[in-house]
Structures are given as structure tokens and as C-alpha cells.
Structure 1
Amino acid sequence: MTLDQYRSHVNVYFDPLVSIAIRCRLTPNFFTIAALLASAAAGVLFFFRMEFFAIVAVALNAFCDAMDGAVARATNAQSKRGDFLDHAVDRYADIFIITGIFAGGMVPWQIGVFALTGVLMSSYLGTQAQAVGVGRYYGGLLGRADRLVMILVVGIIDLLVPLSFYSLSLFGWMLLLFGIFGHITALQRFAYVWAKVE
């Protein structure tokens, strides 16, 4: 079960910020684009091994990613175009952040590519469920919210106490888990959708 399923329970904590955003006339698309820029910045910062600022950028990406949907719901501005933009930006965000981590040499590129394929396939099958009429499905072991939380936690630990096990850093083990759990999640989602469609 992934943290994505609990988004509605977290929304209440964003209500004061959503009200401020609405008063400032900030649109859902503003936060979606801000999330994209934050993820791109995170990728570049990870590439140059500026971990502290990269973690701050990931936190900003997570915040903006939560705010775009919250503002859309509060202003009744939900649309297919906005949903499409949000999902496209989320996939680019995954690519920017994960690629930045392994392209900068923090993790062997083989593990980075394995993580990236797992992340993209699990995300793809989650939204493909909607495309075939089953409805969006967030089930499985690892969702986007889980990954963002793991990046933040691992990043903070790595800044405070850099550790490695069997010649692999915490980021390396994290991306390895992204790959393993990502592909397991993809299989779980595939099985769920397959059982629902004729």
C-alpha cells in the first residue's frame, strides 16, 4: 500500500496554504510548473553533488506537487488538461531527480537505470488503468509519494551521517529498492488491471 492512497487525508493540512494561494491568484498550473522547475533544479544539484540544496529542491517539488491538486479542488478548476499536464510533469520530475543522482556518480549507472525503469513502469501502469476504463490505481508497494519521502529521509541521513554498505551508499541502496519495488508494483498493478478488464 502506498502513501499516494492517503493524499486526501493530508489535504486538510494544506487548507491554510491553499487559501493563501487562492488569494494570491496562484493557479494549479503555476504549482505544476513550479514542481517541474524544482525537480529539474534537484537533478542538476544532485549531479553537481550539492546534496543539501538538492534535498531542498526535492522538498519544494513535493510541496508544489501536493498544492496543484489541492488548489484545483478548492477552486473547482480540475480539468483533463490539468490532469494530463500534472502526470507529464511528474514523469519528468522522476527522470530529472533519479538521473541527477546516478549521472553525478553518486550511484552506479546500472542501478540508476534499473531504478528509473521500475519507477516509470509502475507509474505508467497506474495511469494506464484509467485509460482502459478501470480508474486510476495507486495500489502496490511503491508510489510517487513513497519515493519522495524516501529521497528526503535518505538525503537528510546521508548529509548527517554518510554511510555505505557493501560499497554502496544509502542513495545506491535506495535506488536499488526503487528498481525492485518499482517493478514489483508494476506487476501488481498489471495483475489488478488485467483482472478487471475483459
Structure 2
Amino acid sequence: MTLDQYRSVADRLLGPWVRAAARLGLSPDQVSLLAFGAAVAAAGAFAAGDPFFYALGAVCVLLNGWLDVVDGALARHLEIASDGGDLLDHVLDRYADIAIIAGFTVGTGAYALGFLAVTGVLMTSYMGTQIQAVGIGREYGGLLGRADRLALMGIVGLVAAVYAVPVVAGLNVVGLLLALFAAVGHLTAVQRFLGAWRDV
């Protein structure tokens, strides 16, 4: 998949959001914190494991993803992009990933899958930033990038709101999502590593 390749399309839709944030006097860092707050709210909603809260969590996940694009666009609009802001954004993204997956895990009680899922996601992200850190470039490729994960989490939250019964091997759609993240996350990390290794 990866939805990260459509960042330029998203950038063209950001104008009204960026202008609204600028009018409100928000800084890019503050938008990053709002995005993280949406992720924490999603985690709490998913942990409840209730249909209404699954739907609410899905909305919060999508808001997190959108605001995560707005903060960078706002920084460019205000011409105040900085390494510090980029660092804060990356750190909050990782904590947001952990929080949302933890919420799904608590809601389903699938703790082993949750552990494998979060390590897969963190390794995917780690490979992207480590490749950048050693000066090879910035690697967004792979089977599932962050944009893909957020889209899937939002969709699964909405599906779980109306259909949360087990579908395969005793797992409902949330459990299947965790299994997907566990398997594909580590494969994406390896894929990113091999892609970067060829460029060394």
C-alpha cells in the first residue's frame, strides 16, 4: 500500500486547516500536542471495548492523523520549521502509536498480539528514522506506513462499532488488526532495512 505517497494530495487539502490554526495563534508544536491528545482519547475509547466508543475512537484516530499532517504544513506556512519541531512530532507519533494499540489491546484482552503489534509498529518507525539518522535519506516505503496504519485503525474502529463478534480463530476485527500489525510491521521494518541497505 502506502498512503504516505499521497502526502502531496493531502497538502493541497490543508489550506483551510492551516489558515484556521494560524488565525487561532496555534504553533506547530501545539497542533502536534492536540494530535497526541486525540490519540490518547482514541486509546481510552478503544479500551472501553463498547460499540459507541469504538466509533468515537475511530473519529479520534482520524483526527490524530489529520492534525499530524497539519502541524508540518503550519510550520512551513509560518516559515518556522525546525529540527526541534520535527523531533517533537516524531516522539509524539511514537507515543500515539503505542497508546492507540494499547487501547485496542485492552479492549480485546489480546495482550500477546498487542505486544507483537506494538513492537512491529515501533520497529517500522525506528527503521525509518534510523535510516535518516545515518544519512541515507528518509524511508517511508514498505507494506504499511503510519498513514496506512491510521487509516486501518479508523476503519476497524468503525467496523467494530457495528460488528465486534469473532470472525477468525476467535479473533474479532480488532484482534485481526493486531495480528496484521504484528506480522506486517516486522516485515515492513525488514523491507525498509533492505531498501536502505541497497543504497549504502
Q: TM-score, normalized by length of structure 1? A: 0.94
Cross-structure match for 1:99 = 102
Conservation of the 8 A alpha-carbon contact between 1:122 and 1:182: yes
User: Structure 1 residue aligned with 2:160, among 131, 155, 158?
Assistant: 158
Aligned pairs (5 A) from 1:100-179: 100-104=103-107, 106-165=108-167, 166-179=169-182
- Consecutive unaligned residues of structure 2, counting only runs of 5 or more, are none
Aligned pairs (5 A) from 1:64-103: 64-103=67-106
Q: Deviations over 1:158-179 (max 9, x none)?
A: 2123342221000111111111
Q: Deviations over 1:116-155 (max 9, x none)?
A: 1110000100111110001111011001100110011111
Q: How far off is 1:54 after superposition?
A: 1.8
For the residue of structure 2 that corresponds to 1:43, the secondary structure is: helix
RMSD between aligned alpha carbons?
Answer: 1.3
Aligned pairs (5 A) from 1:19-58: 19-49=19-49, 50-58=53-61
Conservation of the 8 A alpha-carbon contact between 1:14 and 1:67: yes
Conservation of the 8 A alpha-carbon contact between 2:127 and 2:193: yes
Runs (4 or more) in structure 1 with deviation over 2 Å come to 160-164
For the residue of structure 2 that corresponds to 1:168, the secondary structure is: coil
Conservation of the 8 A alpha-carbon contact between 1:107 and 1:168: no
Counterpart code for 1:75: L
Distance of 2:74 and 2:31 partners within structure 1: 9
Distance of 2:57 and 2:152 partners within structure 1: 14
Q: How far off is 1:107 after superposition?
A: 4.6
Distance of 2:109 and 2:157 partners within structure 1: 13
> Size of the alignment, in residue pairs?
196
Identity value in percent: 46
Distance of 1:140 and 1:52 partners within structure 2: 28
Conservation of the 8 A alpha-carbon contact between 1:42 and 1:54: yes
- Consecutive unaligned residues of structure 1, counting only runs of 5 or more, are none
Q: TM-score, normalized by length of structure 2? A: 0.93
